[in-house]
């Protein structure tokens, strides 16, 4: 084959090939970047989720915050028993308002509710609560 | 003929060995008409093993027909290092018949001369002691065979370099863009690094997944309990009193005393929407379900 005869076409073809290679290199870098960004984004999202979950369910202040369940009602109406990170509480004769305050505090605390038993006696409520964190 | 090194395209004048000549007086006006009948004029005169092309021009009142095999000519020229792309045009010695009236020395044994107005190759001895030309200024006839266009590159060097420049420019742009994309994940990396810095215990992917799995489970269960309690409390309204509420890890139960019939329908609708089980009795309504 006479290469000299196709010299001009070869110049154009080689430069075209170089351009196509550069183009695919660029495309590869773009998709690679997207992939890396997705992995990074996933890691960041997962990290944020873990941090958020820990803030709710592994709050270091929960010991103190859980005490609010005890102080939400008059001391005479509650029997409080806390062992480490587990609480068993018995509330007697709560008014509607007291019951609502207690319920609101319980729902907003990051504790695991094991038992929440409410019984109405005439106009007052008796509550059994068992939770942990 | 020695091997040649050509840098610029050149014109080549072919001696009679490379063509067959015929002159005819014909009632034809145009060259294209003469060219149409050229093949029939050479029937039996040229070997059939090759393909022939025809070159026609008018000399005085005669039409000059030249049959030539381009394939044979190219083969010969290539054997001497002359490639089609380096040849601009091919001419025939007959086109310069006036120049060869004074014989031209081709080699030690041959000369190019004119016999009966036809350029022919003759033995040197045939011209005797006549003066011989060894150099001459060959004319450049206007009509010839543009061999370069038929055999040379589709692209000229200028065009090829133009295309190459454009392609290379794009190559540089693509590479630059590619490199830029390659190193452009700093923002994401920095965010992750700052989060890890603030929470070093979560630096390991395995630890993160393990902690996430543990707390997701708790989160899901506890959110469900709280949502259930909220729905059960929303059922309390005018004419409805909560008598009992029980919820543990497995399920829940709520009992309501209902004084108004319209409230029953509303509770039924709410329970249906929340997919709770509802039981009606004379004492009221009992709603229950599993977590």
Question: Choosing among B79, B152, B172, B182, which should be mutated to test the A contact, i.e. which has the most A CBs within 10 A?
Answer: B182
Joined together, the tokens standing for residue A63 give 């010991």
Three-state secondary-structure class, residue A132: strand
The residues pairing with B64 across neighbouring beta strands, listed in sequence order, are B23, B57
Q: How far apart are CA A109 and CA A70, in angstroms?
A: 13
CB contact under 8 A, B215 and A54: yes
Q: Examine the domain organization and report whether B27 and B66 are in the same domain.
A: yes
CB contact under 8 A, B157 and A48: no
Angle between the N-to-C axes of helices B157-182 and A7-57, in degrees from 0 to 180, rounded to the nearest 10: 10
Q: Examine the domain organization and report whether B267 and B192 are in the same domain.
A: no
**pLDDT average, residue stretch A110-128:** 92
List the CATH number of the domain containing B253.
3.30.1360.100
A 19-78: CB under 8 A from B:
19, 21-23, 25-26, 28-30, 32-33, 36-37, 40-41, 43-44, 46-51, 53-54, 56-58
**pLDDT average, residue stretch A65-70:** 89
The predicted model scores a pTM of 0.54
Q: In what order do the strands lie in the sheet with B19-24?
A: B19-24, B62-68, B53-59
Range A30-54 burial, b when 16+ CB lie within 10 A, else e: beebeebeeebeebbebbebbeebb
Joined together, the tokens standing for residue B249 give 């890890």
What superfamily would CATH give domain A62-132? Ribosomal protein S6/Translation elongation factor EF1B (3.30.70.60)
Confidence of residue A127 (pLDDT cuts 50, 70, 90): very high
Confidence of residue B5 (pLDDT cuts 50, 70, 90): low
pLDDT tens for B53-102 read: 999 998 888 999 999 998 889 889 888 888 877 888 899 999 988 888 88
Complex ipTM? 0.78
Contact residues for B12 (Cβ-Cβ < 8 A; gap 6+): B77, B82, B87, B89, B90, B91
Q: Is B277 on the interface with A (CB under 8 A)?
A: no
CB contact under 8 A, A103 and B229: yes
- In degrees and rounded to multiples of 5, residue B103 shows phi and psi of -55, 145
| Whether the Cβ atoms of residue B20 and residue B26 lie closer than 8 Å to each other | no
The residues pairing with A112 across neighbouring beta strands, listed in sequence order, are A132
CB contact under 8 A, B192 and A37: no
Joined together, the tokens standing for residue B266 give 């509303």
| Whether the Cβ atoms of residue B283 and residue B241 lie closer than 8 Å to each other | no
Q: Examine the domain organization and report whether B192 and B122 are in the same domain.
A: no
Residue ranges per domain, chain A?
3-57, 62-132
Say how many domains are in chain B: 4
pLDDT tens for B111-141 read: 888 888 899 998 888 877 667 777 777 777 7
| Lookup result for tokens 């792309």 | B85
């Amino acid at each position: 084959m006479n290469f000299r005869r196709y010299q001009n076409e070869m110049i154009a073809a080689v430069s075209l090939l170089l351009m196509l290679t550069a183009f695919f290199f660029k495309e590869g870098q773009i998709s690679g970047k997207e992939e890396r960004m997705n992995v990074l984004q996933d890691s960041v999202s997962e990290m944020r989720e873990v941090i958020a979950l820990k803030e709710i369910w592994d709050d270091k202040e929960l010991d103190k915050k859980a005490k609010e369940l005890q102080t939400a009602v008059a001391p005479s109406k509650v029997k409080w028993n806390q062992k480490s990170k587990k609480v068993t509480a018995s509330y007697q004769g709560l008014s509607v308002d007291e019951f609502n305050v207690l319920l609101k505090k319980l729902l907003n605390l990051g504790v695991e509710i094991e038992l929440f038993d409410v019984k109405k006696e005439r106009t007052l409520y008796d509550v059994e609560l068992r939770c942990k964190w | 003929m020695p091997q040649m090194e050509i840098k610029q395209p050149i014109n080549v004048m072919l001696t009679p060995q490379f063509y067959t000549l015929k002159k005819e007086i014909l009632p034809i006006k145009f060259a294209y008409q003469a060219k149409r009948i050229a093949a029939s004029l050479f029937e039996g005169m040229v070997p059939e093993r090759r393909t022939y092309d025809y070159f026609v021009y008018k000399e005085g009142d005669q039409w000059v027909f030249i049959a030539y095999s381009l394939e044979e000519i190219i083969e010969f020229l290539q054997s001497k290092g002359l490639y089609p792309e380096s040849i601009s045009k091919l001419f025939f010695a007959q086109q310069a018949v006036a120049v060869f009236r004074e014989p031209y020395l081709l080699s030690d044994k041959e000369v190019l001369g004119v016999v009966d107005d036809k350029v022919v190759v003759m033995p040197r001895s045939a011209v005797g002691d006549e003066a011989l030309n060894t150099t001459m200024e060959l004319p450049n006839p206007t009509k010839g065979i543009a061999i370069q266009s038929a055999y040379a590159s589709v692209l000229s060097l200028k065009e090829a370099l133009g295309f190459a420049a454009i392609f290379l420019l794009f190559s540089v742009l693509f590479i630059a863009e590619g490199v830029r994309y390659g190193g452009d994940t700093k923002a994401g990396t920095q965010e992750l690094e700052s989060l890890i810095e603030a929470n070093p215990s979560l630096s390991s992917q395995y630890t993160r997944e393990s902690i996430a799995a543990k707390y997701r489970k708790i989160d899901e269960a506890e959110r469900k309990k709280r949502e259930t309690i909220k729905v059960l409390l929303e059922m309390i309204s005018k004419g409805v009193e909560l008598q009992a509420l029980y919820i543990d890890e497995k399920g829940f139960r709520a009992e309501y005393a209902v004084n108004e019939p319209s409230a029953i329908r509303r509770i039924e609708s709410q329970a249906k929407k929340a997919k709770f089980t509802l039981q009606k009795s004379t004492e009221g309504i009992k709603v229950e379900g599993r977590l």
